[in-house]
Amino acid sequence: MSQKLSNAQIAWRAAQDITDGAYVNLGIGFPEMVAKFQPPGRQAIFHTENGVLNFGEAPADGEEDWDLINAGKKAITLKPGAAFFHHADSFAMVRGGHLDVAILGAYEVAENGDLANWSTGPKGVPAVGGAMDLVHGAKRVAVITDHMTKDGRPKLVKHCTLPLTGVGCVTRVYTSLAVIDIEDARFVLREKLPGLSLTDLQAVTGAELVVTGDIADLNCPEI
């Protein structure tokens, strides 16, 4: 598998599905990159767990206000029409189903929508943050991820082997090779890289890829 999308391209593809005015939470780390690739004319409203709606880009170096950070503890700025609120209200937005989209990273996603993205096992210091809350409540819970682990194992699997973040919660997965919906506890293939055969894609996927209609080409710009 020589050709695959870069992280930026995966984030770009995920960004194309975010509608204007959608309320969106981007998980810390890789998912934060999605904000950069909103199509022209569309403006999502970004939520961060620590109590800010409608924040913007990072400030310039040296311009940071450390009272104004996101869930990843990175300095942010505000857009007009922002709001501050406390943590219980912030998670009322999450748990109460008020977010349109949450986009998260993953260690493993199972065909039934189970997600493992918070713990790689009992070693070290465990830390969960808001991940277990975010997988509940958003109208769409999407994952962006490389299709395989660094050592070549599938990240899309029949059953998760790592500690779960949530049960049956993921609805769409954007990978470095494909876009896959989770429907009726099955991976339904929607898009794949144009040069990639279904057989080759299946070979690096840990559970059956179901085809229920046309498979579109997954085309991303060079970024």
Partner 1 sequence: MDKTVADLATAVADIESGIALMVGGFGGSGAPIELIHALIDRFKATGTPGNLTVINNNAGNGRVGIAAMIDAGMVARMICSFPRSADPRAFTEKYLAGEIELELVPQGTLAERIRAGGAGIPAFYTPTSYGTNLADGKPTAEFDGHVYVQERWLKADVALIKAELADPLGNLTYRKAARNFSPLMAAAATTTIVQASRIVELGGIDPEHVVTPGIFVDRIVEVADARQEEALMREGVAYA
Q: Which amino acids are annotated catalytic?
A: 49
Helix (H, G, I), strand (E, B) or coil at 179: strand
CB of 40 to partner 1, least distance (A): 15
Nearer to partner 1 among residue 154 and residue 163 (C-beta): 163
User: Cα–Cα distance between 114 and 108 in angstroms, integer?
Assistant: 8
Nearer to partner 1 among residue 54 and residue 202 (C-beta): 54
Nearer to partner 1 among residue 23 and residue 37 (C-beta): 23
**DSSP at 148:** B
CB of 207 to partner 1, least distance (A): 18
162: left (phi over 0), alpha (psi -120 to 50) or beta: beta
CB of 46 to partner 1, least distance (A): 11
| CA proximity to 219, closest of 200, 199, 191, 198 | 191
User: Cα–Cα distance between 178 and 181 in angstroms, integer?
Assistant: 10
Contact 76, 68 (CB under 8 A): yes
Nearer to partner 1 among residue 100 and residue 146 (C-beta): 100
Distance spanning both ends of the chain, measured CA to CA? 20
Contact residues for partner 1, defined by CB under 8 A: 20-21, 23, 43, 45, 47-54, 65-69, 73, 78, 80-99, 114, 119, 124-133, 136-137, 163-167
CB of 177 to partner 1, least distance (A): 28
User: Cα–Cα distance between 84 and 80 in angstroms, integer?
Assistant: 12
At 189, list the tokens.
């293939």
